[in-house]
Structure formats: C-alpha cells, structure tokens
Amino acid sequence: MDKIYDVAIIGAGPGGYVAAIRASQLGLSACVVEKDTPGGICLNWGCIPSKSLIHQASEFAALADMEKLGIRVDRSGFQYGRVQAKSRDAAKTLARGVAGLLKKNKVDVLSAVGSIAAVGKVALKGGALDGKIVHAKNIILATGSRPLELSGFVIDETMVLSSTGILAMVELPKELVILGAGAIGCEFAHVMNAFGVKVTLVEMAGHILPSEDFEVAQVVDAAFRKAGIDILVGTKAVSWKTRNGRSAVSIDKGGQKSELCCDKMLAAFGRVPNTQGIGLEMVGVRLNGRGYIETGDYGQTNIPGIFAIGDITTSPALAHVASREGEIAVEFIAGRTPRPSKVPPDLVPSAVYCEPQVAGFGLREDGDKVNNRNVKKSVFPYRGAGKSVATGKTEGLVKILADVDTGEILGAHVVGLNATELIHELLLAKSSEMVVEDIAAMIHAHPTLSEAVMEAARGINDSPIHL
Amino acid sequence: MDKIYDVAIIGAGPGGYVAAIRASQLGLSACVVEKDTPGGICLNWGCIPSKSLIHQASEFAALADMEKLGIRVDRSGFQYGRVQAKSRDAAKTLARGVAGLLKKNKVDVLSAVGSIAAVGKVALKGGALDGKIVHAKNIILATGSRPLELSGFVIDETMVLSSTGILAMVELPKELVILGAGAIGCEFAHVMNAFGVKVTLVEMAGHILPSEDFEVAQVVDAAFRKAGIDILVGTKAVSWKTRNGRSAVSIDKGGQKSELCCDKMLAAFGRVPNTQGIGLEMVGVRLNGRGYIETGDYGQTNIPGIFAIGDITTSPALAHVASREGEIAVEFIAGRTPRPSKVPPDLVPSAVYCEPQVAGFGLREDGDKVNNRNVKKSVFPYRGAGKSVATGKTEGLVKILADVDTGEILGAHVVGLNATELIHELLLAKSSEMVVEDIAAMIHAHPTLSEAVMEAARGINDSPIHL
C-alpha cells in the first residue's frame, strides 16, 4: 500500500463508483473502498431491485386485463419469493457489471470499511486489508445515507422494516402500514398493493409525495385510492405495540388518536447521512447544523484534499446527483473546469416510479414564490394524447410553469405512464436555456405521450390543439 | 351554403382536423368535409387501434413471466375478438374526442365526399348534403393515402388483407404471411406473433424496416427471430393462389423461387396518395411524376387558394407531419409566419411501435453521404442502463451520428423499450441547434432509459461511464 493514489474514494455507490471510473478516464489513479458489494444501496438495495418489483407488479396487475379476454388465471400458486428472487438477480447482474467496469477502468476496489486517518490517508478496517492505510492525494467521501429511524419505530427488520428489509422480504404480509409517503413509501405502496397486500399509507404532510407539486401528487392520490390503498395525510405515527402477534400502530391526526392494525410496518420517514465512523473528526471536516457536509462548487469540504459527494452533502439525496457530483469532483481534481460545477438544484429531476409515475424539476406551484416574474401555468391531461387512450393509461398530466414574458421554463411536473422518461425533454429545454416555444414548435411523433409535453408547452403562449 | 368560409378542408384526418381546429383558434371560419368518421385512417383504422393491439399483445406476452411466478394461465378460452373490440373502443373514444374538439372550436363538419369544383368551391357528394357547393376563400386538400395494391395481390380483405382489414379481423389466422416489412408490416408481425399466429415477414429490401438505420433494424430482426417470426429479406412476393382453402404465395429470392403456405396475407407494401376524384383536374392542380402534389413552403399548390397537406404531398406519410403541415397552411392563410415553414425532413421523427420499438431522425449511417463533415458515430447499448436490466428489457441501443467538430447532431436512432418517447430529447437538441454536450452534461434521472441517451451523447466527445 505504498502507492499514492491520485484519488481514494470511500464508498462505491452511484457517487463513488462513477467518480472512480471518471477519474480513471481522466488519467488519474483511483481506488475505491467499499465494505459491501460495489453499486451501493441504490443498486443493491434501492432503485434497481425496487424497479424490478415495480415492473413485475405492473405485469401482475395486467393479469386482470387478460382475464377480460377469456384467459383464466389461477393466482393460488403465486410465489412472491420468485418475484423477490428476480429483483435480486437484477441487482446482482448490475453489481457484476459495475465490478467489471471498475476492473476495466483499472480502479482498485478495496474490500474494507474506510475512514479518514489523516489528510491523504484512509484507514481500512475488516477483512484481509484490516489495519492497512491507503495513501492518496485526494480523498472523496461518498458514504451515502441510511433510513431515518424515529423514536417509537426502531427498525428491527421483522415488524418494522426499512426499505432494505422490505426488499429482502420473501413472503407478503397481509396488511402493511407504510410510514411516510415520499418516493420510497409510494413505490412500495404501489408494489405491495398490486400484489394483493392491504396497504395503509400514513403521511404527516398535507399530501402524499410532499416534495412534489401538489397537483401531480393529487393524481397519484386518486389513483392509489382507486386501486384500494388507504391514505391518511396530516397524520403522525406515534408508536406501536404488538397485539396477538400483529402490530397496533398509534396514529394522531390533529389531536384525534386512533389505531391501525397490521402485520408489518415500513419505515419510510426519510434518510440520514452516513457521517459517523468515517473519520471526519480526525481532520475536522465540518458538518452543518443538520448533520450534512457543506461543500464548495466542486465538492470541496473545508479541509483541502478532502471532498464529499452524494447523500452526505446538502444536495438532494438522489443517485443521479451523487453520480454527477462525483464526476464534478474528479474533473476538478484532474484540473478540468466541469460544466456546470455545483449541481443547480432546479436542474435536478425527481423521479418516483409508482404507477402513475411522477417526475419533476424546478418551480412548484405550491413552492417558493417567484418575484418579478409573470408566471403562467399550463396543464395538459394525458387523456388528450391518443397514445394514452390506446393503452388505457389515461391517468396523468404534464404541467409547465413558465415565465410568460420570456418563455423560460421555471418548473415542470409530469405524472402518468413513463413520466420519468418524458421529463427529460422538458429538462433539456430548461438546462439549455430554450423556451417553451422550442418544444411547442417541434414535431412530436404520433402517437406518443411526448405529444402531451408539446401540448402543455403550447399552453403557455398559444392554444393546445387537443384541449 | 351561402356562407363563404375562410378555409374549407377536404378530409378530417390528422392533417385536416388539426388544420381546422388551428384555423378556428386563429379566428378563421372553417369547415371540414369528411366522408367517414373524423380522425381519418390514423385514428380510426391505423395508428390508434394498432397501438391498442400492441399494448394488449405486450400484456399477453407478459403472461409467460407470470407463469414463472407460480401463476397458472389457461389460454384456451382466449378470444381475440375481445382484443379487437377493445381496439375499436379506443378508436371510437378518440373519434368522439375529435368530433367534440371540432364542435368546441366551431368547425362545421360536413358529412360528404368533397372535391374541388372550382377555385373557391367544394362540391359535396352523398348523404344529406349531396349536390351542395361549399364556398371558401381557401381550400386545403387533406385526403390522405390508401394501401398500395400490387398486381398479383389485389386486396380482397379475405385472403389478402390491408392494414384496415387486419384491424377489422376478429379471429386469428393460424399462419400469416406479411408482405412488406416497413413500420406497418413489423407492427403487425409483432402483434400477431405475440398472440400465437405463425408469422412470415417477406421484404424485398436487404433488411427489415428498410427506411430505418440498418443497425437499429438489426436489433429488431434479432428480436423478431428470437420470438419465432420467420423473416425473408431480399425476397419478392410474386403472386398467390388458393390451395385447399389456404393460400400458396410464390416468392423469389434472387431467382430462387419457392412457396409459402398460409391462411391470410397482409399487404403492407406501402401507401399511395388519394389524389383521384378530388377535382384536381377541375382547376389544374399539378402532380409530380410519382403522383404526389408538390407544395410550396406553406402547403401552396400551383393554384392560388388551394393548399395540400399530409400523405398526398411529397413529405413523409406520417400523421405528425400532416398535422404540422395543416397548422403551417392555416397559419399562413391567417397571415402569420409559421416557424418553421416547410417541415424540415431531418426533423421528422419516424416511429415504429413493435417490440422493440424504433424511432429516429436525420442522417442514417447507411443513408446519404455527408460531405465536408467529420461524422462520428456513438452507440450505447440499453443493457448499460440499469433500468433496462431491472425491467428485463435489455434489447436496444441509442445511436447518435454527430459532427465531431461542432457537436451538431446529424441523426439519431433508438431501438428498444420506449424508443418512440426517448427520441424527443434528441430531436429537441437537433431542432433547437444544441450540441451533444448539452445532453451529455445534463443530469438524467436514475434509473431511466434516458440515461442511455446521455451516455450515447457522451460517446461523441468523451467517454460514457457505463461502457
């Protein structure tokens, strides 16, 4: 371990492994220290296996369509364990892929728990490398986050599951209470409900998906209720106790207390940064009041030579943000001037993969006020796009908030089939400083859902045709 | 009928009805003459019902996934008639929608066969309006196209079906020979094969989807063969005869003659413009050598006051082209300067909805040569995007051809799940004169297939991460 790396990265999630590959592409020598499988939570116990469950849930739900065609479906032999196994296969395939990419890019993968020993030094713990020190000119911290545990809901992975626990689950509960209706809560509500679990979604805020536009969240709310999911908003989960082998969850809605019975709970309150035990105190890396690492334009912490990216920083805790921050940091280290530098918050797309899907960026109608801007809103419903009728997926809308004087897109929100793909056309218009007219004037293939994007853009300056 | 309309439109397909609505939005008085249901072939007997069949075919195919989960599926009671009925419902819903939009926009819909009687006069035939004359300052011809009939394969809708005939079909044949592997041929090959019909696809050109990029077509070819479709390229269908109540189709591959047996044939050779019986000769509207109407920048024919849009003109025979040409013509009539005027051919997306889907625009690697350009190709496979692995749909690729000196996108081609949506981000970059770097530098939501678009863009100037 006498080698001095240009970059040592602690954590091989979507922030760390992308930073490592990019570093290598730029001619830097790089290693990544990872205690588990490369790919991090996202790939192994997050985005990827959950997308496999969601895809299978949609196929399972489509069985009802097929029964209407005279096909007989006997679900009695259904084994959820096989659904789960398939999701594990997807994660394993991709983890192997990441390991292959790291190898191809000559990144050293060090299997150990890494922590800062000093500036330029990473201490390794556990496994064959226990006690070793890695030397590196630059250290990037990419240790990610873990589920937030609230008092009263200690995660035991038996009664109170984390997102990891529910992804590991091989048998379905009869009744599930999901605590928190953010992206993770809503995705599992969709999956579990589709597979026949009785789901209750409990959310403190005034609407589900509280960090998404309210109008978009409303569409999901209506679809969820129609699909049989119970939704309690403005409701706080207080505590739980066992009763006859099941759980009784105490909830409080504006002072009105009641109880929900279920077999399991999913704690989806949010996530907390993994800033403990990584040696921040050894060199004095500063945290903000909420426990996140404040970083400069290129991911620099207050200590020269030490960078931080992803969920441990103050930017949105999203895989694609971590990846970009990783690239920005190593490009800076390599002497390049990355463009853009700091990830602009209004150019970060959110994406929720429940059905209907949700994606958005920038200004929300119920978000911060915009001064000195003549903001206009345009909403185009999916059912105005022929493709949605042809596929029977008419729930959804495209919403654009634009400066009507300049045509600048200030925010956009899509809910419905393939929303997480459709958002990118709108985001490109925003990120490249185009105007709504650029989208409105462009020919869109017929019949596609992207036509709804075009029609929404027309709604700012002109009239949509199909409304 | 003494009223003088600003615009009379013959044909209420996607060209005509959109032109009529747009005319009304611009303050013009408009009528549309239509012999059938508003919406035209596309909506009633084309794009829309076929997308319904395709969607149901995918759900049907997904039954195999479900069987692996322990679910028992008995297909013996399957009634294709119900699939077809559902596709008719979709078409009817949308036709009602179009009728409603026309009414809301105060467009008069005249149920009759329309033809030019003179400049400013449209003669009506059939129904209650038989013999009437409509007066209009401007006439827009939007009569569309019909299936091309080749000698030897007269369409009888019993043995030799057109696309309309196969959409009307309520019982599946055992064996189907599809003559022509363009968009229509490939879409029905996918649908019929998914529902268990033995399909043979016969194409004269060297590869299926001859108007798409060869590399993209190759992916479809491989997927089709894997799914059990027989493909014969470089093969001419010569004639057919009945034998024991079935058909024997004579084919010729480079002089080698053989026979294919089947129950029905689908003639998908192409389409011909409906320029007969619409009174072109009454005023002298000129056709080109191939029988299409040549038009000016705003759809003007050689006769002042008479415009032509859609499949009867020389532009690509696509619904979205017809719609845009309709808008351009009425905007010009209303005294506006539409932007862009003539639809730029390299900004017209193609879209094929078989599985895997295909979409593309602009330069093809096997298309016209580009002079004085340093063209670079970048291909990124779908399997490099985590979403494709999570959903098990790893077949596909994104291909970009760009000018490596300027970063200008010259052409882009996508094959795979949701290709017909993904193409729009690339098309926006092209149509708004952005460069590949604009896509490469933008954060894309993870995990989406749009990440493959970003990675392909990186492949022009830089390195993709996941390759």
Task: Write out pLDDT tens, residues B334-365.
Answer: 999 877 678 889 999 999 999 999 999 999 98
Q: In what order do the strands lie in the sheet with A236-243?
A: A236-243, A246-253, A256-262
The identity of residue B156, as a single letter, is D
Report residue A349 as tokens. Answer: 């797309």
Residues A431 and A417 sit within 8 Å (Cβ to Cβ): no
Instruction: State how far the Cα of B13 lies from the Cα of B48, in Å rounded to an integer.
Output: 12
CATH superfamily membership of A356-461: FAD/NAD-linked reductase, C-terminal dimerisation domain (3.30.390.30)
Report residue B368 as tokens. Answer: 């016209």
The DSSP line for A258-298 is EEEEESEEEE-S-EEE--TTSSHHHHT--B-TTSPBP--TT
Report residue A369 as tokens. Answer: 């006020």
A392:B90 CB<8 A? yes
How far, in Å, are A19, A101, A326, A407, B281 from residue A107 at the CA level? 10, 9, 15, 45, 73
Instruction: State how far the Cα of B159 lies from the Cα of B173, in Å rounded to an integer.
Output: 10
pLDDT over 70 at B307, yes or no: yes
Which of A25, A47, A71 lies at the smallest CB-CB distance from B78? A71
The predicted complex's ipTM stands at 0.97
Q: Please list, in sequence order, all residues whose beta carbon lies within 8 angstroms of the beta carbon of residue B386, skipping any fewer than 6 positions away.
A: A43, A47, A48, A51, A94, B446, B447, B451
Say which residue the tokens 């082209």 belong to: B321
How far, in Å, are A142, A145, A267, A272, A309 from residue A275 at the CA level? 10, 8, 21, 9, 12
B465:A21 CB<8 A? yes
pLDDT at site A373 = 84
Residues B446 and A42 sit within 8 Å (Cβ to Cβ): yes
pLDDT at site A316 = 94
Instruction: State how far the Cα of B160 lies from the Cα of B6, in Å rounded to an integer.
Output: 43
Report residue A144 as tokens. Answer: 């990610």
Helix or strand holding residue A136 (H, E): strand A133-141
Q: Residue B8: which of B457, B329, B243, B249 has the closest Cα?
A: B329
Which of A60, A424, A447 lies at the smallest CB-CB distance from B450? A424
Q: Please list, in sequence order, all residues whose beta carbon lies within 8 angstroms of the beta carbon of residue A48, skipping any fewer than 6 positions away.
A: A39, A42, A90, A91, A94, B386, B389, B390, B447
Phi, psi of A93 (to 5 degrees): -60, -45
Determine which one of B190, B424, B444, B446 is catalytic: B446
The identity of residue B419, as a single letter, is A
Say which residue the tokens 């908030």 belong to: A401
Measured at the CA of B1, the angle between CA B330 and CA B6, to 5 degrees, comes to 15
Report residue A297 as tokens. Answer: 């334009």
Name the residues of A annotated as catalytic.
446
pLDDT over 70 at B431, yes or no: yes
B425:A423 CB<8 A? no
Instruction: State how far the Cα of B144 lies from the Cα of B308, in Å rounded to an integer.
Output: 10
Report residue B459 as tokens. Answer: 């492949």
N-terminal to C-terminal alpha carbon distance within chain B: 66
The CATH classification number of A160-269 equals: 3.50.50.60
Report residue B145 as tokens. Answer: 């196209």
pLDDT over 90 at B366, yes or no: no
Nearest-CA residue of chain B relative to A361? Answer: B445
Largest Cα–Cα separation, chain A: 70
Instruction: State how far the Cα of A207 lies from the Cα of A218, in Å rounded to an integer.
Output: 8
DSSP state for residue B128 in the 8-state scheme:
G
Nearest-CA residue of chain B relative to A18? Answer: B465
Do the strands B358-362 and B350-352 form a parallel or antiparallel pair, or are they unpaired? antiparallel
Instruction: State how far the Cα of B336 lies from the Cα of B340, in Å rounded to an integer.
Output: 12
Residue A121: other Cβ atoms inside 10 A = 17
Whether domain B4-147+272-333 has CATH 3.50.50.60: the reply is yes
Calculate how close chain B gets to A281, using CA atoms only, in Å: 32
Q: Residue B179: which of B165, B168, B169 has the closest Cα?
A: B165
Strand partners, A261: A248
The mean per-residue pLDDT over the stretch B197-205 comes to: 98
Which of B421, B423, B436, B437 is most worth mutating to test chain A (most A CB atoms within 10 A of its CB)? B421
A51:B447 CB<8 A? yes
Contacts 24+ apart (CB under 8 A), A203-208: A203/A231, A203/A232, A203/A233, A203/A234, A203/A235, A204/A180, A204/A234, A204/A235, A204/A236, A205/A181, A205/A233, A205/A234, A206/A233, A206/A234, A207/A233, A208/A181, A208/A233
B70:A77 CB<8 A? yes
Residues B282 and B122 sit within 8 Å (Cβ to Cβ): no
Which of A65, A78, A465 lies at the smallest CB-CB distance from B69? A78
Instruction: State how far the Cα of B289 lies from the Cα of B110, in Å rounded to an integer.
Output: 32
DSSP state for residue A209 in the 8-state scheme:
S
Dihedral Cα A339, A343, A347, A350, nearest 10 deg: 140
Domain boundaries, given as residue ranges, for chain B:
4-147+272-333, 160-269, 356-461
pLDDT over 60 at B72, yes or no: yes
pLDDT at site B367 = 75
Report residue A203 as tokens. Answer: 């959310």
Per-residue pLDDT of chain A (467 residues; tens, 9 = 90+): 579 999 999 999 999 999 999 999 999 999 999 999 999 999 999 999 999 999 999 999 999 999 999 999 999 999 999 999 999 999 999 999 999 999 999 999 999 999 999 999 999 999 999 999 999 999 999 999 999 999 899 999 999 999 999 999 999 999 999 999 999 999 999 999 999 999 999 999 999 999 999 999 999 999 999 999 999 999 999 999 999 989 999 999 999 999 999 999 999 999 999 999 999 999 999 999 999 999 999 999 999 999 999 999 999 999 999 999 999 999 999 999 877 678 889 999 999 999 999 999 999 988 777 777 899 999 999 999 999 999 999 999 999 999 999 999 999 999 999 999 999 999 999 999 999 999 999 999 999 999 999 999 999 998 899 99
pLDDT at site B372 = 76
Do the strands B121-125 and B113-118 form a parallel or antiparallel pair, or are they unpaired? antiparallel
Q: For residue B337, count CB atoms less than 10 angstroms from its CB and return exposed for 0-12, middle for 13-18, buried for 19 or more.
A: exposed
B59:A77 CB<8 A? no
Helix or strand holding residue B324 (H, E): helix B319-333
Residue B385 or residue A367, greater confidence: B385
pLDDT over 70 at B463, yes or no: yes
Residue-averaged pLDDT of chain B: 96
Calculate how close chain A gets to B220, using CA atoms only, in Å: 19
Dihedral Cα A356, A360, A366, A368, nearest 10 deg: 160
Q: In chain B, what are the helix, strand and coil shares in percent, each to the nearest 5? A: 35, 30, 40
Calculate how close chain A gets to B22, using CA atoms only, in Å: 7
The DSSP line for A385-440 is SHHHHHHT---EEEEEEEETTT-BEEEEEEEETTHHHHHHHHHHHHHTT-BHHHHH
pLDDT at site A1 = 55
Q: List chain A residues with CB under 8 Å of B348.
A: 443
The identity of residue A422, as a single letter, is L
Instruction: State how far the Cα of B338 lies from the Cα of B330, in Å rounded to an integer.
Output: 9
Instruction: State how far the Cα of A398 lies from the Cα of A419, in Å rounded to an integer.
Output: 9
N-terminal to C-terminal alpha carbon distance within chain A: 66
Peptide bond into A340 cis (omega under 30): yes
pLDDT at site B295 = 96
- In this chain, the answer to whether the domains covering A4-147+272-333 and A160-269 adopt an identical fold is yes
Phi, psi of B207 (to 5 degrees): -145, 160
pLDDT at site A196 = 97
pLDDT over 90 at B328, yes or no: yes
Instruction: State how far the Cα of A375 lies from the Cα of A365, in Å rounded to an integer.
Output: 10
- How many cross-chain Cβ pairs, A to B, lie less than 8 Å apart? 271
H-type alpha helices, A71-138 = 80-104
Q: Please list, in sequence order, all residues whose beta carbon lies within 8 angstroms of the beta carbon of residue A96, skipping any fewer than 6 positions away.
A: none
pLDDT at site B1 = 54
Report residue A84 as tokens. Answer: 């789960």
Which of A21, A22, A59 is most worth mutating to test chain B (most B CB atoms within 10 A of its CB)? A59
Q: Please list, in sequence order, all residues whose beta carbon lies within 8 angstroms of the beta carbon of residue B40, skipping any fewer than 6 positions away.
A: B11, B12, B13, B14, B15, B16, B17, B46, B144
Angle between helical axes of B319-333 and B16-25 (0-180°, round to 10): 30
